[in-house]
Amino acid sequence: MPIATSAKIFVAGHCGLVGSAVVRKLHQLGCTNLLLRTHSDLDLTNQSAVESFFADEKPQYVILAAAKVGGIHANNTYPADFITINLQIQTNVIVSSFNHKVQKLLFLGSSCIYPKFAPQPIPENALLTAPLEPTNEWYAIAKIAGIKMCQAYRLQHNFDAISAMPTNLYGTNDNFHPENSHVLPALLRRFHEAKVNNLDKVVVWGTGSPLREFLHVDDLADAVVFLLENYSDLEHVNVGSGKEVSIKELAELVKEVVGFKGELVWDSTKPDGTPRKLMDTSKLVGLGWIPKISLRDGLVDTYKCVTPGILEADHAPKMPKAFSFDYSMLNDTVPC
């Protein structure tokens, strides 16, 4: 059922990578009644504040993209924060949505909910079949709890709450921090820095053989709206591109998009990491949704959107002749 352009829609986490893309999509569709609150306006970990917001605003739809996120180092350093804050956010928003008769809620998670050695491609029913990746289990367990909360409220109260699990994301409003970004923004930044500093090579760990999947965040936003309008069931839904790219192909493509003319060197003495990680998106495709943005087009668009300001904001004046990129970060599937 199409969402009315006048419907009150609360996008929780609208400043992040995913939330901002959802807002762009809703604006494109002509939605005029979006409820947007920054953390300073509304602390989603504060139960009474969330309850008051829902009582005052009475949203009809809720898209829950808010979360405490970070890389492997952050997850290992602050496990209590990652599990507690995410559980608080999810619980407060889901419970208040039910209490105040929200028409439909969509909860966004991450592919890190799946076991470390899940079958490939990863189907939805792989959830809870084996141990998680230890480096981000605190975040993953919180996200699994969010899925289960949505299912529990549907089963007990017939509340229309659904969940979507995206693959590795990239795009406009991504995090390009030199130390804490994920693989694609990290590669874009580092090839850009190598270009502007006239470096002669970029060294990347491993052989380049592992395979990974990427989805432009604008495609995810399109899928979010599609699911809100076309899906109402118990099981969560994977959202991905359905296409794999080797790390070697990825690095070569980023090198080309950025325009770095130096050499790309592979350090095969370093580990490759997990050989493959792909989401099974046949369920979503069967519902009638497919992604529209190719990896090349998405990278070109992303690079145009962020240069030169963001990439050079933390720019070091003196760069080494070569630097390494540890793409073991690819195991870190935490989204925005």
β-strand partners of 9:
34, 61
Total count of residues recorded for the chain: 336
Angle at 75 between CA 129 and CA 93, to 5 degrees: 75
- What is the crossing angle of helices 217-230 and 17-28, to 10°? 60
CB 327 within 8 A of CB 183: yes
End-to-end CA, the chain: 28
> Residue 79 corresponds to which tokens in the numbers above?
């496990």
DSSP 8-state class, residue 202: E
> Residue 249 corresponds to which tokens in the numbers above?
């192909």
Dihedral, CA of residue 18, residue 19, residue 25 and residue 27, to nearest 10:
-160
Q: Which residues are catalytic?
A: 139
| b/e sequence 35-53, b meaning 16+ C-beta within 10 Å | bbbeeeebbbbeeebbeeb
Cα–Cα dist 95/291, whole Å: 32
